[in-house]
Amino acid sequence: MRIAMLQDRASVPSIFSEKALARLASFGEVVRNEGAPTDENVKKTIAGADIAITSWGNTTLHREILDCAPGLRLIVHAAGSIKPIVCDEVWERGIRVTGSPKPLGMGVAETALGFTISASKNYYNLNANLHANGPWHEGYDNIRELYDLTVGVIGGGWAGGHYLELMQNFGVETLLYDPYCSEEKAARLHTTLASFEEVLRRSDIISIHAPNIPETYHMFNAETLGWMKKDAVLINTARGAIVDEHALYEHMAAGNLKYACLDVFDPEPMEADNPLRTLPNVILTPHLAGLAQNGKLRIGMHAADEIEKFLSGRPMDCEATKEMLAKMA
């Protein structure tokens, strides 16, 4: 068994702990890319491999690269979307593919939970008030516990699903909009499927976890934002293009939501003159959801988990097929 790690060698320690690397070595011979993930280096590293591991910085594993590993059986993408990595040739050769949406989704969901609690508790306004030497309880009447509220979730994939699981720790009702989600899966997530409009109209907090696909482009716009409660909280840790930022600015400038908490933007990095920067009721973070710093080590351990399942003939958690690409991030 030959496992080829194709990512930039310098990036390996940030994703694979020594424990994860030891697990990989227990499966077979591990060969690492000696430099940057150029085609030349990738071809050399993947030669004769049974399993290839890719990550951020890797480009498409095209025909010429795949020809160097005629026995390749599995690609494990230890990063975000698999779309930049795979091509039709991968599927035509019967190579199986798995990614990292499960560990990444955990980080995204936990970031969204942080926004959920802090916005409900009105941390941001209270913090600004105390820094400005304002009255001790200024804004205190705008605090809400996560109790007897309705939380709406847009997208029930790995991130949305984990967020829904986290919500089970609180006394809230949850609604899910996901046209690809079955009633059976919704029941496992202890949530209720609803239309997009119903979720927006009923929810006190809305957390976006949808993929960036044509169907979700600017699904939050001037009309749909108007369906939300004026004191609702909007959280976006998914993709910036899902929200029409111009419409959101107009909506927030008019004081129509309690907070909009944004971790993603369109484009990124966020433009210096983006007017959302000027609004105190818009909370901004620089795309830190997912996994950052030590959290990335979850990805390496997950990659080892997926390889172990593949080798033992068990279903992998995050296996992707060509048919799934159209509805994936």
- The number of beta carbons lying within 10 Å of the beta carbon of residue 283 is 19
Beta strands 74-77 and 2-5, pairing class? unpaired
Instruction: Output the pLDDT for position 290.
Output: 87
Instruction: Output the pLDDT for position 329.
Output: 78
pLDDT at 6 over 90: yes
**Mean pLDDT of the 9-34 span:** 97
What are the structure tokens assigned to 216, written together? 């979700």
Model confidence, pTM: 0.93
CA distances from 114 to 87, 210, 285 (A): 37, 18, 12
pLDDT at 166 over 90: yes
End-to-end Cα separation, the chain, in angstroms: 31
Instruction: Output the pLDDT for position 283.
Output: 98
**Mean pLDDT of the 104-117 span:** 97
Place of tokens 């351990």: 301
pLDDT at 249 over 90: yes
The string of DSSP letters for 261-282 reads: EES--SSSSPPTT-GGGG-TTE
pLDDT band per the 50, 70, 90 thresholds, residue 161: very high
Q: Which residues are catalytic?
A: 239, 268, 287
Amino acid at 189: L
111-148: per-residue pLDDT in tens?
Answer: 999 999 999 999 999 999 999 999 999 888 999 999 99
Q: Which of 72, 78, 69 is nearest to 98 (CA)?
A: 78
Instruction: Output the pLDDT for position 231.
Output: 97
pLDDT at 245 over 90: yes
What are the structure tokens assigned to 146, written together? 């996560």
pLDDT band per the 50, 70, 90 thresholds, residue 89: very high
47-82: per-residue pLDDT in tens?
Answer: 999 999 999 999 999 999 999 999 999 999 999 999
pLDDT at 288 over 90: yes
Contact (CB, 8 A) for 42 and 66: no
Cα dihedral angle (65, 69, 70, 76), rounded to 10 degrees? -90
DSSP secondary structure code for residue 107 in this structure: H
Q: Outline where the chain has alpha helix (H).
A: 12-15, 18-27, 39-46, 63-66, 88-92, 101-120, 123-131, 158-167, 183-188, 196-202, 222-225, 245-253, 297-312
Amino acid at 186: A
Beta strands 74-77 and 233-236, pairing class? unpaired
- Residue 222's Cα: distance from chain center in Å? 25
Average pLDDT, whole number, for the chain?
96
**Mean pLDDT of the 229-233 span:** 98
What is the percent of the chain where pLDDT is above 70?
100
pLDDT at 292 over 90: no
